[in-house]
Amino acid sequence: MRTGSIPLYVPALHALHRPTQDLSDGYPGVNHPEVPSRVDRVLEGFATVWEVTVRTVEHLAWDAVNGLHDPEYVRFLGELRELLQEGEEYIPSIFQPDLSAAPLRLRGGMYCREIGTPLSAATLGAALSSAAAAEWAARAILETGRDAVALCRPPGHHAGRRRYGGYCFFNNAYVAATVLAAAGRCAVLDLDYHLGEGSAELASEQAPYFSLHADPWRNYPYLDAGMQLETAFVNLESLPGGVDGRGYLERLRGMLARLDVLDLDFLVLSLGFDTAATDPIQDDPVRLRPEDYFAIGQALADLRPRLAIVLEGGYDLNGLKDCARYFAAGFSR
Protein backbone atom coordinates (compact mmCIF):
# COMPACT_ATOMS: atom_id res chain seq x y z
CA MET A 1 0.00 0.00 0.00
CA ARG A 2 1.39 3.37 -1.04
CA THR A 3 0.45 6.27 1.21
CA GLY A 4 1.06 10.02 1.36
CA SER A 5 0.70 12.81 -1.15
CA ILE A 6 1.60 12.55 -4.83
CA PRO A 7 3.05 15.28 -7.05
CA LEU A 8 1.17 15.74 -10.28
CA TYR A 9 2.90 17.59 -13.14
CA VAL A 10 0.77 19.44 -15.71
CA PRO A 11 2.25 20.93 -18.91
CA ALA A 12 1.75 24.71 -18.86
CA LEU A 13 1.19 25.03 -22.62
CA HIS A 14 -0.91 21.97 -23.45
CA ALA A 15 -4.26 23.78 -23.74
CA LEU A 16 -2.97 26.00 -26.57
CA HIS A 17 -2.76 22.85 -28.71
CA ARG A 18 -6.34 22.28 -29.87
CA PRO A 19 -6.52 20.14 -33.02
CA THR A 20 -9.92 20.69 -34.64
CA GLN A 21 -10.55 17.70 -36.89
CA ASP A 22 -9.36 14.11 -37.07
CA LEU A 23 -9.28 13.20 -40.77
CA SER A 24 -7.98 9.65 -40.26
CA ASP A 25 -11.36 8.02 -40.85
CA GLY A 26 -11.98 10.04 -44.03
CA TYR A 27 -13.32 13.40 -45.18
CA PRO A 28 -14.98 15.33 -43.67
CA GLY A 29 -13.21 14.64 -40.40
CA VAL A 30 -14.75 14.21 -36.99
CA ASN A 31 -14.21 16.52 -34.02
CA HIS A 32 -10.71 15.78 -32.79
CA PRO A 33 -10.85 13.59 -29.67
CA GLU A 34 -7.50 14.73 -28.25
CA VAL A 35 -8.81 17.82 -26.43
CA PRO A 36 -7.46 19.91 -23.51
CA SER A 37 -10.25 18.98 -21.07
CA ARG A 38 -8.97 15.38 -20.99
CA VAL A 39 -6.30 16.55 -18.57
CA ASP A 40 -8.88 18.26 -16.34
CA ARG A 41 -11.08 15.15 -16.21
CA VAL A 42 -8.20 12.85 -15.23
CA LEU A 43 -6.94 15.36 -12.68
CA GLU A 44 -10.40 15.56 -11.10
CA GLY A 45 -10.54 11.79 -10.85
CA PHE A 46 -7.12 11.45 -9.24
CA ALA A 47 -7.68 14.40 -6.90
CA THR A 48 -10.92 12.84 -5.62
CA VAL A 49 -8.86 10.06 -4.06
CA TRP A 50 -5.23 11.15 -3.74
CA GLU A 51 -3.83 14.08 -1.90
CA VAL A 52 -2.30 15.67 -5.01
CA THR A 53 0.14 18.56 -5.28
CA VAL A 54 -0.44 20.09 -8.71
CA ARG A 55 2.71 21.51 -10.29
CA THR A 56 2.33 23.44 -13.54
CA VAL A 57 5.49 22.89 -15.61
CA GLU A 58 6.68 26.02 -17.43
CA HIS A 59 9.90 24.37 -18.62
CA LEU A 60 10.24 23.31 -22.27
CA ALA A 61 12.12 20.03 -22.66
CA TRP A 62 14.36 21.08 -25.57
CA ASP A 63 17.43 19.20 -24.34
CA ALA A 64 15.60 16.01 -23.37
CA VAL A 65 13.75 15.96 -26.68
CA ASN A 66 16.86 16.63 -28.76
CA GLY A 67 18.62 13.82 -26.90
CA LEU A 68 15.82 11.30 -27.48
CA HIS A 69 14.66 12.30 -30.97
CA ASP A 70 16.52 13.09 -34.17
CA PRO A 71 17.51 16.79 -33.83
CA GLU A 72 16.75 17.18 -37.55
CA TYR A 73 13.11 16.26 -36.82
CA VAL A 74 12.96 18.67 -33.86
CA ARG A 75 14.49 21.43 -36.01
CA PHE A 76 11.90 20.78 -38.73
CA LEU A 77 9.07 21.30 -36.21
CA GLY A 78 10.66 24.62 -35.17
CA GLU A 79 11.04 25.82 -38.76
CA LEU A 80 7.54 24.76 -39.71
CA ARG A 81 6.12 26.67 -36.76
CA GLU A 82 7.47 29.91 -38.23
CA LEU A 83 5.51 29.24 -41.38
CA LEU A 84 2.11 28.58 -39.80
CA GLN A 85 -0.48 31.32 -39.46
CA GLU A 86 -2.47 31.69 -36.26
CA GLY A 87 -5.22 29.05 -36.36
CA GLU A 88 -3.78 27.25 -39.38
CA GLU A 89 -3.43 23.46 -39.24
CA TYR A 90 -0.72 21.60 -41.11
CA ILE A 91 -1.03 18.10 -42.51
CA PRO A 92 1.58 16.94 -45.05
CA SER A 93 0.45 16.24 -48.59
CA ILE A 94 3.23 13.91 -49.71
CA PHE A 95 4.58 10.99 -47.67
CA GLN A 96 8.09 9.84 -48.59
CA PRO A 97 11.09 8.63 -46.58
CA ASP A 98 13.45 11.39 -47.81
CA LEU A 99 12.08 14.81 -48.75
CA SER A 100 15.12 16.71 -47.51
CA ALA A 101 15.50 18.60 -50.82
CA ALA A 102 11.81 19.56 -51.00
CA PRO A 103 10.34 22.87 -49.78
CA LEU A 104 9.79 23.14 -46.03
CA ARG A 105 6.02 22.76 -46.43
CA LEU A 106 6.44 19.32 -47.92
CA ARG A 107 9.14 18.03 -45.60
CA GLY A 108 6.66 16.99 -42.88
CA GLY A 109 5.87 13.98 -45.06
CA MET A 110 9.22 12.48 -43.99
CA TYR A 111 8.18 12.47 -40.36
CA CYS A 112 4.40 12.15 -40.29
CA ARG A 113 2.72 8.74 -40.13
CA GLU A 114 -0.90 9.67 -40.83
CA ILE A 115 -3.34 12.52 -41.39
CA GLY A 116 -5.15 12.53 -38.02
CA THR A 117 -2.46 14.54 -36.23
CA PRO A 118 -2.59 18.17 -37.40
CA LEU A 119 0.14 20.61 -36.33
CA SER A 120 -0.58 24.24 -35.46
CA ALA A 121 1.71 27.06 -34.36
CA ALA A 122 0.95 26.06 -30.74
CA THR A 123 1.76 22.37 -31.14
CA LEU A 124 5.53 22.43 -30.71
CA GLY A 125 5.29 24.42 -27.47
CA ALA A 126 2.62 22.09 -26.12
CA ALA A 127 4.62 18.99 -27.05
CA LEU A 128 7.80 20.37 -25.43
CA SER A 129 5.73 21.27 -22.39
CA SER A 130 4.23 17.77 -22.26
CA ALA A 131 7.68 16.19 -22.43
CA ALA A 132 8.83 18.54 -19.67
CA ALA A 133 6.03 17.31 -17.39
CA ALA A 134 7.34 13.76 -17.87
CA GLU A 135 10.91 14.89 -17.26
CA TRP A 136 9.93 16.73 -14.07
CA ALA A 137 7.95 13.78 -12.74
CA ALA A 138 10.95 11.51 -13.29
CA ARG A 139 13.27 13.94 -11.52
CA ALA A 140 10.84 14.20 -8.61
CA ILE A 141 11.03 10.43 -8.19
CA LEU A 142 14.82 10.61 -8.00
CA GLU A 143 14.61 13.39 -5.41
CA THR A 144 11.87 11.96 -3.20
CA GLY A 145 12.00 8.20 -3.82
CA ARG A 146 8.22 8.29 -4.29
CA ASP A 147 5.79 7.88 -7.18
CA ALA A 148 4.91 10.87 -9.40
CA VAL A 149 2.34 11.61 -12.11
CA ALA A 150 2.72 13.54 -15.38
CA LEU A 151 -0.57 14.50 -17.05
CA CYS A 152 1.09 14.66 -20.43
CA ARG A 153 -0.82 16.18 -23.32
CA PRO A 154 -0.27 15.77 -26.22
CA PRO A 155 0.38 12.07 -25.56
CA GLY A 156 3.64 10.44 -26.66
CA HIS A 157 3.79 6.69 -27.21
CA HIS A 158 3.30 6.78 -31.01
CA ALA A 159 6.21 9.22 -31.44
CA GLY A 160 9.38 7.50 -32.65
CA ARG A 161 12.92 8.81 -33.03
CA ARG A 162 11.94 10.87 -36.07
CA ARG A 163 8.24 10.14 -36.52
CA TYR A 164 5.03 11.70 -35.30
CA GLY A 165 1.39 10.64 -35.55
CA GLY A 166 -1.39 9.10 -33.49
CA TYR A 167 -1.78 12.50 -31.77
CA CYS A 168 1.84 12.21 -30.48
CA PHE A 169 4.93 14.34 -31.24
CA PHE A 170 7.55 13.55 -28.57
CA ASN A 171 7.76 10.34 -26.58
CA ASN A 172 7.02 11.53 -23.05
CA ALA A 173 7.33 8.06 -21.50
CA TYR A 174 10.82 7.59 -22.93
CA VAL A 175 11.80 11.10 -21.80
CA ALA A 176 10.95 9.96 -18.25
CA ALA A 177 12.61 6.57 -18.81
CA THR A 178 15.84 8.23 -19.97
CA VAL A 179 16.05 10.22 -16.72
CA LEU A 180 15.26 7.18 -14.56
CA ALA A 181 17.44 4.67 -16.44
CA ALA A 182 20.48 6.83 -15.66
CA ALA A 183 19.82 6.21 -11.95
CA GLY A 184 18.72 2.57 -11.77
CA ARG A 185 16.95 -0.35 -13.41
CA CYS A 186 13.99 0.93 -15.43
CA ALA A 187 11.32 -0.31 -17.84
CA VAL A 188 8.25 1.13 -19.57
CA LEU A 189 4.82 -0.53 -19.21
CA ASP A 190 2.16 0.69 -21.65
CA LEU A 191 -1.50 0.08 -20.77
CA ASP A 192 -3.00 2.40 -23.37
CA TYR A 193 -5.51 0.69 -25.71
CA HIS A 194 -3.08 1.19 -28.60
CA LEU A 195 0.34 -0.33 -29.14
CA GLY A 196 2.95 2.44 -28.85
CA GLU A 197 5.08 1.73 -31.89
CA GLY A 198 7.14 4.84 -31.12
CA SER A 199 7.98 3.47 -27.70
CA ALA A 200 8.80 0.08 -29.23
CA GLU A 201 11.27 1.85 -31.53
CA LEU A 202 12.90 3.67 -28.60
CA ALA A 203 13.12 0.59 -26.35
CA SER A 204 16.61 -0.39 -25.23
CA GLU A 205 18.40 -2.63 -22.78
CA GLN A 206 18.32 0.30 -20.31
CA ALA A 207 14.57 0.77 -20.74
CA PRO A 208 12.75 -2.22 -22.25
CA TYR A 209 9.15 -1.78 -23.41
CA PHE A 210 6.16 -3.87 -22.29
CA SER A 211 2.72 -3.28 -23.76
CA LEU A 212 -0.76 -4.82 -23.50
CA HIS A 213 -2.99 -3.51 -26.29
CA ALA A 214 -5.67 -4.13 -28.89
CA ASP A 215 -4.50 -6.11 -31.94
CA PRO A 216 -2.23 -3.57 -33.71
CA TRP A 217 -2.88 -5.09 -37.13
CA ARG A 218 -6.64 -4.51 -36.78
CA ASN A 219 -6.43 -1.24 -34.82
CA TYR A 220 -4.30 1.87 -34.91
CA PRO A 221 -1.30 1.95 -35.57
CA TYR A 222 -2.30 -0.71 -38.19
CA LEU A 223 1.10 -2.34 -38.50
CA ASP A 224 2.24 -3.70 -41.84
CA ALA A 225 1.34 -7.35 -42.18
CA GLY A 226 4.40 -9.35 -41.21
CA MET A 227 6.05 -6.38 -39.49
CA GLN A 228 7.97 -7.56 -36.46
CA LEU A 229 8.45 -5.02 -33.69
CA GLU A 230 9.42 -7.54 -31.07
CA THR A 231 13.11 -7.52 -30.14
CA ALA A 232 14.97 -8.53 -26.99
CA PHE A 233 13.78 -5.24 -25.47
CA VAL A 234 10.15 -5.28 -26.61
CA ASN A 235 7.50 -7.46 -25.00
CA LEU A 236 4.05 -7.23 -26.60
CA GLU A 237 0.70 -8.84 -25.94
CA SER A 238 -2.51 -8.32 -27.94
CA LEU A 239 -5.91 -8.48 -26.29
CA PRO A 240 -8.67 -10.50 -27.95
CA GLY A 241 -11.58 -8.38 -29.22
CA GLY A 242 -14.39 -8.09 -26.68
CA VAL A 243 -12.12 -8.81 -23.69
CA ASP A 244 -13.66 -7.82 -20.32
CA GLY A 245 -12.13 -6.76 -17.00
CA ARG A 246 -11.49 -10.32 -15.93
CA GLY A 247 -9.67 -11.32 -19.11
CA TYR A 248 -7.75 -8.06 -19.07
CA LEU A 249 -6.57 -8.52 -15.48
CA GLU A 250 -5.45 -12.07 -16.19
CA ARG A 251 -3.21 -10.85 -19.00
CA LEU A 252 -1.98 -7.85 -17.02
CA ARG A 253 -0.92 -10.12 -14.14
CA GLY A 254 1.02 -12.27 -16.60
CA MET A 255 2.82 -9.22 -17.93
CA LEU A 256 3.59 -7.95 -14.42
CA ALA A 257 5.13 -11.33 -13.61
CA ARG A 258 7.43 -10.95 -16.63
CA LEU A 259 8.38 -7.47 -15.38
CA ASP A 260 8.96 -8.71 -11.85
CA VAL A 261 11.97 -10.81 -12.79
CA LEU A 262 13.77 -7.65 -13.99
CA ASP A 263 14.03 -6.48 -10.38
CA LEU A 264 13.33 -2.86 -11.35
CA ASP A 265 13.96 0.31 -9.38
CA PHE A 266 11.68 2.40 -11.61
CA LEU A 267 8.73 1.75 -13.86
CA VAL A 268 7.32 4.29 -16.30
CA LEU A 269 3.60 3.57 -16.71
CA SER A 270 2.12 4.77 -20.00
CA LEU A 271 -1.46 5.01 -18.77
CA GLY A 272 -4.30 5.31 -21.29
CA PHE A 273 -7.94 5.22 -20.34
CA ASP A 274 -9.01 4.39 -23.90
CA THR A 275 -9.41 0.76 -22.75
CA ALA A 276 -12.74 1.88 -21.24
CA ALA A 277 -15.77 0.24 -22.91
CA THR A 278 -17.22 3.71 -23.56
CA ASP A 279 -14.16 5.08 -25.36
CA PRO A 280 -15.11 6.41 -28.81
CA ILE A 281 -12.01 5.35 -30.79
CA GLN A 282 -11.86 1.56 -30.43
CA ASP A 283 -12.18 -0.77 -33.42
CA ASP A 284 -11.89 -4.06 -31.46
CA PRO A 285 -13.82 -3.42 -28.26
CA VAL A 286 -12.04 -3.72 -24.91
CA ARG A 287 -14.82 -3.72 -22.36
CA LEU A 288 -13.37 -2.26 -19.19
CA ARG A 289 -15.88 -0.63 -16.85
CA PRO A 290 -14.72 2.21 -14.61
CA GLU A 291 -14.66 -0.22 -11.65
CA ASP A 292 -12.15 -2.44 -13.47
CA TYR A 293 -9.49 0.27 -13.10
CA PHE A 294 -9.56 -0.38 -9.35
CA ALA A 295 -8.03 -3.84 -9.81
CA ILE A 296 -5.54 -2.42 -12.32
CA GLY A 297 -4.41 0.23 -9.84
CA GLN A 298 -4.19 -2.40 -7.12
CA ALA A 299 -2.06 -4.74 -9.23
CA LEU A 300 0.36 -1.88 -9.96
CA ALA A 301 0.54 -0.76 -6.33
CA ASP A 302 1.86 -4.21 -5.43
CA LEU A 303 4.96 -3.67 -7.59
CA ARG A 304 8.29 -2.82 -5.97
CA PRO A 305 9.62 -0.15 -8.37
CA ARG A 306 8.70 3.53 -7.98
CA LEU A 307 6.22 4.57 -10.67
CA ALA A 308 6.29 7.50 -13.06
CA ILE A 309 2.68 7.56 -14.27
CA VAL A 310 2.53 9.24 -17.69
CA LEU A 311 -0.83 9.96 -19.35
CA GLU A 312 -1.35 8.65 -22.88
CA GLY A 313 -4.87 8.29 -24.40
CA GLY A 314 -8.44 8.18 -23.09
CA TYR A 315 -11.13 10.09 -24.99
CA ASP A 316 -14.51 9.50 -23.35
CA LEU A 317 -14.83 12.86 -21.63
CA ASN A 318 -17.84 11.66 -19.62
CA GLY A 319 -16.13 8.53 -18.34
CA LEU A 320 -12.54 9.68 -17.79
CA LYS A 321 -13.01 11.06 -14.31
CA ASP A 322 -14.55 7.83 -13.00
CA CYS A 323 -11.87 5.64 -14.57
CA ALA A 324 -9.13 7.81 -13.06
CA ARG A 325 -10.90 7.81 -9.69
CA TYR A 326 -11.14 4.00 -9.56
CA PHE A 327 -7.53 3.65 -10.70
CA ALA A 328 -6.39 5.98 -7.92
CA ALA A 329 -8.51 4.16 -5.34
CA GLY A 330 -7.02 0.81 -6.34
CA PHE A 331 -3.53 2.26 -6.16
CA SER A 332 -4.70 3.58 -2.75
CA ARG A 333 -2.20 6.09 -1.60
The site for ligand OKP (CB under 6 A) is made up of 24-25, 116, 155, 158, 166-167, 192, 194, 220, 272, 274, 281, 312-313
Q: Give the DSSP letter of residue 34.
A: -
Q: How far is the CB of 197 from ligand OKP (least distance, A)?
A: 10
Residue 193 lies near Zn ion (rule: CB under 5 A) = yes
How many Å apart are CA 251 and CA 153, to the nearest integer? 27
Q: How far is the CB of 104 from ligand OKP (least distance, A)?
A: 25
Spell out the residues 6+ positions from residue 89 whose beta carbon is closer than 8 angstroms to its own. Answer: 19, 20, 21, 118, 119, 120
Q: How far is the CB of 38 from Zn ion (least distance, A)?
A: 11
The β-bridge partners of 187 are 267
The entry of ligand OKP, Zn ion, none that residue 297 binds, CB within 5 to 8 Å by partner kind: none
The entry of ligand OKP, Zn ion, none that residue 55 binds, CB within 5 to 8 Å by partner kind: none
- Chain positions 273 to 292 lying near Zn ion, rule: CB under 5 A, are 274
Residue type, 216: P
Cα-to-chain-centroid distance, residue 114: 17
How many Å apart are CA 311 and CA 121, to the nearest integer? 23
Cα-to-chain-centroid distance, residue 312: 3
How many Å apart are CA 314 and CA 14, to the nearest integer? 16
Q: Contacting Zn ion (CB under 5 A), which of 272, 290, 305, 319?
A: 272
- Please say if 14 is a catalytic residue: no
- Chain positions 92 to 151 lying near Zn ion, rule: CB under 5 A, are none
The entry of ligand OKP, Zn ion, none that residue 155 binds, CB within 5 to 8 Å by partner kind: ligand OKP
196 vs 330, which CB is nearer to ligand OKP? 196
Q: How far is the CB of 41 from ligand OKP (least distance, A)?
A: 14
Phi/psi-derived region of residue 43, left when phi > 0, alpha when psi is between -120 and 50, beta in every other case: alpha
Minimal CB distance residue for Zn ion = 313
297 vs 313, which CB is nearer to ligand OKP? 313
Instruction: Assess contact for 175 and 64: CB atoms under 8 A.
Output: yes
The dihedrals phi and psi of 205, each to the nearest 5 degrees, come to -60, -35
157 vs 321, which CB is nearer to Zn ion? 157
Spell out the residues 6+ positions from residue 184 whose beta carbon is closer than 8 angstroms to its own. Answer: 264, 265, 266
The dihedrals phi and psi of 162, each to the nearest 5 degrees, come to -140, 45
Q: Active site residue: 69, 157, 158, 213, which one? A: 158
Q: How far is the CB of 159 from ligand OKP (least distance, A)?
A: 10
Residues annotated as part of the active site:
158
Binding residues for Zn ion (CB under 5 A):
192-194, 272, 274, 313
